[in-house]
Amino acid sequence: MKKMAILVITLLGAFYHSLVMAPFTQYSSDEVNFMHRAYLKHKPEITINEVRTRLYENQFLLQQAALKTPAIIKRQSAVGFSTQYHVERYLKNLFDSQLAIKAQSSQVKLDTYDSQWLEHTLGPYPKNGQYVQSLIKKMQQIDLTPILYNSINLYEFIDALSMQVRFKLHKGDSELFKSELIKKRQFNIAFSKAKPILAKQNIDIEHLYEIAKGDILRPSIQSWLGINTMMHMQSPVLEKLEKQVTKAKLKHFIKPINRSLNF
């Protein structure tokens, strides 16, 4: 396993090296600078070149995941929050720190969504954690758009939540439900305010979505590829390739890469 990890890291390193030297065809300088300012808050020593490299590394990792393990793009774990949920939290923090946007709006009445409403609407939590079509259709007919400031139904809202949160909602935890509604509403308001501000700064908000997704999924995809190790997670890529790689093949791959990188 160790020799394959070295091989994968070396090959990916060569790819990243070429990306750094290539012209920027996707992220503008303004977008890279924007993310540099954001990263500086958590890592003061990071350089703009390191940020640029990271963004393109993340793009490559997302492409690999989309090809080889697309399920991870939507959700890293069957019991966890959706990737979209994490992306929204990431972007909300980004908007707060970089744009100083306040997502305050007129108060919204949530009294309807009490414990009785939740238990009646959702019913018992399914034993296998999977919703039957009849319940999905029922939830899809409940429109939350007026509350959430964006087009969304109850099923779309609940589907993004973790298994633990959904279980509590089925038990009638109305305060938790209202808390998640407010989070979603605040993000949607912040997003609508951020979009024109970012456009004036030559920053495509869809690019920020991809950047957020890349940062969130980076550890999981790296682990899947065998670059990092994570608890309870193995690398199917390395497990498959390890059986096929001989010392001769390893030298065959590494030697030209070393020459190209002047090692």
* pLDDT computed for residue 253 by the predictor: 44
Q: How far apart are CA 149 and CA 95, in angstroms?
A: 17
Is 29 a residue whose pLDDT tops 60? yes
d(CA 186, CA 213): 19
Selection from 42-46, 96-100, 153-157 with the highest mean pLDDT = 153-157
| CA 23, 27, 31, 35 torsion-angle sign | negative
- Checking if the pLDDT of 17 tops 60, the result is no
The pLDDT assigned to 37 comes to 96
With 70 as the cut, is the pLDDT of residue 3 above it? no
Helix axes 2-21, 48-68, angle to 10 degrees: 120
Chain segment 158-199, per-residue pLDDT in tens: 999 999 999 999 999 999 999 999 999 999 999 999 999 999
For the chain, percent of residues with pLDDT exceeding 90? 59
Q: Confidence band (pLDDT; 50, 70, 90) for 39? A: very high
Binned at pLDDT 50, 70 and 90, residue 65 comes out as confident
212: pLDDT strictly greater than 70: yes
